[in-house]
Amino acid sequence: MASGREDHEIRDLDLTDIGIALKQGWEDFQAKRGDLLFVGFIYPIVVLLAILSVGRVSTLPFIFPLVAGSVMLGPLFASGFYELARRREAGLDMRWRHFLDVVRGPSAPALFDLASVTGALFLIWIGAAWFIYHATVGQLGPDAVSSVGAFLNSVFTTSEGWRMILIGNLVGLFFAIATLAVSAVSFPMVVDKPVNWGVALRTSVRVARRNPVTMAIWGLIVVALLVLGALPALVGLTVALPVLGYATWHLYTRAVVR
């Protein structure tokens, strides 16, 4: 049964903790590099399929929100890496077959509940992006999205386009902060402890509130590594995602007293 204890002890974090977490994440990746290169393709493929599914001209405005918003689903995809890191830490078998233990073990209900929260944030973000587009560039008429060139011209050479960029980025920042606060610690916590999703979520928010600067820097590092990984046709994500997944686990172990 999930623990109902509300206040799990948390620690202060600084840049040293981030550095150690990234170092340990890299070491974990090297320990299972062959398997993880294969698993790491799952997330890039999902993102690529999402891009292709909206590749029609009429949906061009939503490609960026979909790609940016997919980061919100990252913690769910990375949960298998948390499990492998936990098993390696405990000296247990960490072969590929254990990657999906999180979705068929006792942590599965809490994991799916947290996935519902981040999934809802993702859908709300897409809805917000749709509203922002239609209130700005969408007012220019169908010619604004008649081609890729026309759309880019509308975005970067019109006042409506710059309003969309400004408002979209401000709203996106809010969703990014919210997602980081509720997911940075909660997902690895339900993999590690018999806690319900509410306790894990509140603990994650407490860690973010106690360490706002450190967690903000961590969020920027995550985004930067994902962007760098995505540049070579998404192939770099096969390294970035596993390393970040492992590193997130190690940052969790430094943030929450176990």
- Confidence at 253, pLDDT banded by 50, 70, 90: very high
- End-to-end, the C-alpha distance of the chain in Å comes to 18
Segment 188-207 mean pLDDT: 96
Statement: residue 59 has pLDDT above 50: yes
Statement: residue 1 has pLDDT above 50: no
- Confidence at 100, pLDDT banded by 50, 70, 90: confident
d(CA 210, CA 221): 19
The predicted structure's pLDDT at residue 126: 93
Structure tokens at 243: 């390393």
Domain ranges across the chain: 15-255
The predicted structure's pLDDT at residue 62: 82
Statement: residue 40 has pLDDT above 80: no
- Confidence at 48, pLDDT banded by 50, 70, 90: low
Asked if residues 76 and 113 have their Cβ atoms less than 8 Å apart, the reply is no
Calculate the alpha carbon distances from 80 to 46, 87, 110, 125, 159 in Å.
Answer: 16, 11, 14, 25, 45
Classify 252 as helix, strand or coil.
helix
Specify the range with the lowest mean pLDDT, choosing from 12-21, 77-86, 94-103, 155-164. Answer: 94-103
Statement: residue 114 has pLDDT above 80: yes
Statement: residue 2 has pLDDT above 50: no
Structure tokens at 170: 């401000």
- 2 closest CA partner among 113, 76, 87, 88: 113
Q: Answer with the residue of higher pLDDT: 66 or 207.
A: 207
Handedness of CA 130, 136, 139, 141 (dihedral sign): negative
> Nearest 5 degrees, angle CA 55-CA 59-CA 61?
110
- Side chain identity, residue 149: G
Q: What is the mean pLDDT of the chain?
A: 88
Q: Answer with the residue of higher pLDDT: 19 or 238.
A: 19
Segment 1-20 mean pLDDT: 82
Most confident of 138-142, 226-230, 239-243: 138-142
Handedness of CA 233, 236, 240, 241 (dihedral sign): positive
Kindly report the pTM of this predicted structure: 0.86
Statement: residue 175 has pLDDT above 90: yes
The predicted structure's pLDDT at residue 247: 97
d(CA 215, CA 232): 27
